């Protein structure tokens, strides 16, 4: 069996340590995760390590060591706290970190030791979008989601970018696969609100008339602003929402600000339009 065919994630015991860690590290780097069932940060870190290990299958092995069941291994590595992660190459430790680290930090460590280590698709997509290459970002996320269909963060990012690109049917299809806790995330709620607003695009003319008839009514401004956003006229929509905030920032529990944040989440934090209106909103909040 080749390295590519071997499982990328293994649970290691004292008996299997020599084979699964020492010997395998002679062929590929082995990331040894020292953890415990009672460790909260371990539960945060493990999914990140497992995700990266699966992406780098054949180039990296994740070896998980329960320190309570294998105190001899923990003692050998002088583990003082968990989680502690040690990278093994050629039978010896070459790098390590302690505590729950974000995915970007884990990848940065691995990139020093593994040529061609897969970059974070979310980070790469954000860079492409910020550079005005949204179509390339969409393609990158679609490929990543094909590999990781259960990754809610990838799915939300792709749905948001598709919406921003006015590819509504594709966005709906991607978003429809979300369920459970993922639907409670702010990004998901912003996208859901956009879909709901899209159903009312035909009402844009009366919304505009209502806003013109009552220019000092925050509710009319918010409704018109949301309608403009649903029609893809984001700058005009944000202007109307900002006007509503200027009229009454605390209207209905801060509805103008919340509506603007929904648009920010929809367009993405790297979008120049978002940065501009975040600046203008922050100036209003500081008054």
Cα→Cα distances 214→92, 207, 224, Å = 73, 11, 11
Q: How far apart are CA 211 and CA 224, in angstroms?
A: 7
Put the strands of the sheet holding 61-66 in their side by side order.
9-11, 61-66, 30-35, 84-89, 92-98
Q: Is 286 a catalytic residue?
A: no
Q: How far apart are CA 234 and CA 272, in angstroms?
A: 12
Cβ-based neighbours of 41, under 8 Å, separated by 6 or more: 82, 83, 99, 100
The catalytic residue among 21, 39, 86, 245 is 39
The catalytic residue among 12, 31, 42, 53 is 42
Q: How far apart are CA 214 and CA 59, in angstroms?
A: 64
Cβ-based neighbours of 193, under 8 Å, separated by 6 or more: 226, 262
246-250: long-range pairs with CB below 8 Å, 24+: 246/284, 247/216, 247/217, 247/218, 247/221, 248/218, 249/284, 249/285
Beta strands in 14-55 (DSSP E): 30-35
Please answer whether residues 105 and 44 qualify as being in contact, where contact means their C-beta atoms are separated by less than 8 angstroms. Answer: no
Q: Is 42 a catalytic residue?
A: yes
Which residues are catalytic, by number? 39, 42
């Amino acid at each position: 069996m080749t390295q590519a065919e071997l499982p990328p994630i293994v649970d290691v015991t004292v008996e299997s340590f020599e084979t699964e860690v020492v010997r395998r590290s002679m062929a590929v780097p082995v990331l040894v995760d020292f953890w415990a069932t009672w460790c909260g940060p371990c539960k945060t870190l493990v999914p990140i390590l497992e995700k990266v290990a699966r992406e780098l299958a054949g180039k990296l092995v994740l070896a998980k060591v329960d320190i309570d069941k294998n105190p001899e291994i923990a003692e050998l590595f002088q583990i003082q706290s968990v989680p502690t992660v040690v990278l093994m190459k050629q039978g010896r430790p070459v790098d390590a970190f302690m505590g729950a680290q974000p995915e970007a930090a884990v990848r940065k460590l691995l990139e020093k030791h593994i040529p061609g280590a897969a970059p974070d698709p979310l980070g790469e997509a954000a860079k492409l979008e910020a550079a005005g290459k949204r179509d390339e970002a969409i393609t990158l996320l679609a490929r990543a989601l094909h590999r990781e269909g259960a990754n809610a963060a990838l799915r939300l990012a792709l749905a948001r970018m598709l919406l921003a690109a006015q590819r509504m049917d594709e966005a709906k299809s991607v978003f429809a696969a979300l369920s459970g806790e993922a639907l409670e995330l702010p990004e998901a709620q912003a996208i859901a609100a956009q879909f709901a607003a899209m159903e009312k695009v035909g009402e844009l003319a009366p919304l505009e008339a209502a806003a013109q008839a009552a220019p000092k009514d925050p509710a009319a401004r918010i409704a018109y602003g949301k309608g403009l956003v649903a029609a893809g006229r984001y700058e005009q929509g944000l202007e109307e929402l900002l006007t509503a905030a200027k009229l009454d920032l605390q209207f209905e529990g801060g509805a103008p600000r919340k509506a603007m944040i929904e648009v920010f989440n929809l367009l993405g934090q790297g979008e120049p339009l978002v940065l501009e209106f975040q600046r203008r909103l922050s100036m209003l909040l500081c008054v």
